[in-house]
Amino acid sequence: MNHIILIGFMGSGKTSVGKQLAKVMQLPFVDMDELIVQKSGMEITEIFERYGESHFRELETECLKELSKDRERKVLSVGGGLPVQSRNQPYLENMGTVILLEASVQTLLRRLKYDSSRPMLKGGDLQQKIETLQEQRKAEYEKVSDVRVVTDDKGFSQIVDEIRKIVECVKN
Ligand code: S3P
């Protein structure tokens, strides 16, 4: 399949970049977290609070499996924890080009400072949480991605342009 799949840490810009990229490439855009919210009728924070992280991870995998059957080309953005689960990796690899959006801890900190929608970052020192989680996830992100795009100091349009060119190259 030839979907364009955006992965990366929370705050790396997957949703914003994905929306713009889809527009430019005239493809449908699907944000996996949004799909989970629609299907479950609950916000992500509520799913975590009521049923815990492992239940959320099950929902993610279910959603991914379902999407993996959809053959219409799309731009997909998936939650920051999805690529880390080994059971999800074969799906991502078969679904298309996986683009890793990278951002430094300082950039992520700036983007996530006032955010309260991410249960994985709740409580404690934000910088330390980002550093620890990013360190734990880095190798899996790199393993599953075909291309890495550094997003620090770049506007969304520039990132979108970069990805569009990469995807064209992969296709040709
Ligand atoms: C998570 C990232 C979130 C969302 C959930 C868990 C994670 O998505 O799936 O809060 O474990 O990194 P974004 O990466 O879109 O913020």
Query: Residue 106 to residues 76, 99, 126, 134: CA-CA distances in angstroms?
Result: 26, 21, 11, 12
Place of tokens 């569009």: 164
- Three-class DSSP category at 4: strand
For residue 132, the Cα-to-chain-centroid distance in whole angstroms is 18
- Token digits of residue 11: 């705050």
**Cβ atoms 97, 170 nearer than 8 A:** yes
Of 58, 79, 76, residue with least CA distance to 67: 76
Place of tokens 């955010």: 115
Q: Residue 1: exposed, middle, or buried by beta-carbon count in 10 A (0-12, 13-18, 19+)? A: middle
Whether 33 has a binding-site annotation, put simply, is: yes
Identity of residue 25: M
Question: How many A from CA of 79 to the centre of ligand 1?
Answer: 4
The pLDDT of residue 168 is: 86
Contacting residues for 143 by C-beta, under 8 A, at least 6 apart: 89
The response to whether residue 81 sits with its C-beta less than 6 Å from ligand 1 reads yes
Contacting residues for 79 by C-beta, under 8 A, at least 6 apart: 10, 32, 33, 60
The response to whether residue 44 sits with its C-beta less than 6 Å from ligand 1 reads yes
DSSP 8-state class, residue 160: H
The response to whether residue 14 sits with its C-beta less than 6 Å from ligand 1 reads yes
Question: How many A from CA of 118 to the centre of ligand 1?
Answer: 6
The pLDDT of residue 170 is: 76
The pLDDT of residue 105 is: 97
The pLDDT of residue 115 is: 92
pLDDT in tens, the chain (172 residues): 899 999 999 999 999 999 999 999 999 999 999 999 999 999 999 999 999 999 999 999 999 999 999 999 999 999 999 999 999 999 999 999 999 999 999 999 999 999 999 999 998 999 999 999 999 999 999 999 999 999 999 999 999 999 999 998 876 5
The response to whether residue 33 sits with its C-beta less than 6 Å from ligand 1 reads yes
Closest ligand 1 atom to 78 CA? 15
